[in-house]
């Protein structure tokens, strides 16, 4: 599939601000394949989809050499308060580019996205206020949200709330995909072994 021309104000927020307690290692720096880490892979995919801005919200304790990821459209934001949760990280990212018309919310532990999936979500954007992929009646990632939701998230002060709860008043379009990988999360060493190491020849790079 050819890359769809995305809006100049379409952004992506990569959420890597958590403590990675179950993994015992920063997920952003886990090896995805012989050429890239999780974070490098996600940046490459979103750049291939022509996203205007990629904002990486990271835990302050994650040391990343910015030069490795050097792209003029990639920005790193430190999360000094990871205990505030996912919603706080999302807002930190959105505050860096408040003119965004659309935003993909990308979890660092969902590394299996493709340019094709991003294209499909983009093409479905006019069907509702937010779009999610769906495989076999199960919702997956990433989530594509519109300007109305972005503006609301910028006003949030209760970080004990969840994104799922805040999205309830808005219209949702479930894009049916054949890509089952949109459901996969890498949260534990066992997940990493099952979905990455057993399917890639990267052990020599670890």
> What are the sequence ranges of the domains in the chain?
10-205
Q: What is the pLDDT along the chain (206 residues), one digit of tens a residue?
A: 456 666 678 999 999 977 665 666 788 888 898 888 999 999 999 999 989 899 999 988 777 765 455 567 899 999 999 889 999 999 999 999 988 999 999 999 999 999 999 999 999 999 999 999 999 999 999 999 999 999 999 999 999 999 999 999 999 999 999 999 999 989 888 888 888 887 764 444 34
* Close Cβ partners of 151 (under 8 Å, ≥ 6 residues apart): none
Task: Tell me the longest C-alpha to C-alpha distance in the chain.
Answer: 48
Domain 10-205, CATH number (from 1.25.40.20, 3.40.50.300, 3.90.550.10, 3.40.50.720)? 3.90.550.10
Q: How many C-beta neighbours within 10 Å does residue 85 have?
A: 16
Rg over alpha carbons for the chain, rounded to the nearest Å, is: 16
Q: Which two tokens stand for residue 6?
A: 């995305």
Pairwise CA distance, residues 29 & 40, whole Å: 8
Q: In this predicted structure, what is the pLDDT of residue 141?
A: 95
End-to-end CA distance of the chain: 33
Q: In this predicted structure, what is the pLDDT of residue 3?
A: 60
Q: In this predicted structure, what is the pLDDT of residue 15?
A: 95
Q: Tokens 């490795």 belong to which residue?
A: 68
CB 105 within 8 A of CB 91: no
């Amino acid at each position: 599939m050819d890359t769809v021309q995305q809006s100049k104000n379409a952004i992506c927020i990569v959420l890597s601000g958590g403590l990675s307690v179950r993994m015992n290692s920063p997920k952003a720096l886990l090896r995805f394949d012989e050429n890239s880490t999780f974070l490098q892979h996600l940046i490459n995919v979103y750049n291939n989809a022509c996203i205007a801005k990629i904002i990486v919200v990271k835990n302050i304790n994650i040391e990343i050499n910015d030069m490795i990821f050097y792209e003029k459209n990639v920005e790193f934001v430190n999360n000094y308060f990871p205990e505030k949760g996912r919603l706080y990280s999302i807002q930190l990212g959105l505050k860096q580019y408040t003119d965004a018309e659309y935003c993909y919310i990308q979890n660092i532990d969902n590394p299996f996205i493709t340019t094709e999936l991003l294209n499909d979500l983009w093409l479905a954007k006019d069907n509702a206020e937010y779009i999610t992929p769906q495989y076999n009646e199960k919702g997956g990632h990433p989530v594509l949200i519109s300007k109305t939701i972005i503006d609301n998230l910028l006003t949030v002060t209760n970080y004990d709330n969840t994104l799922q709860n805040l999205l309830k008043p808005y219209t949702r379009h479930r894009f049916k995909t054949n890509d089952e990988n949109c459901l996969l999360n890498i949260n534990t060493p066992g997940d990493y072994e099952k979905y990455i190491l057993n399917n890639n020849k990267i052990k020599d790079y670890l």
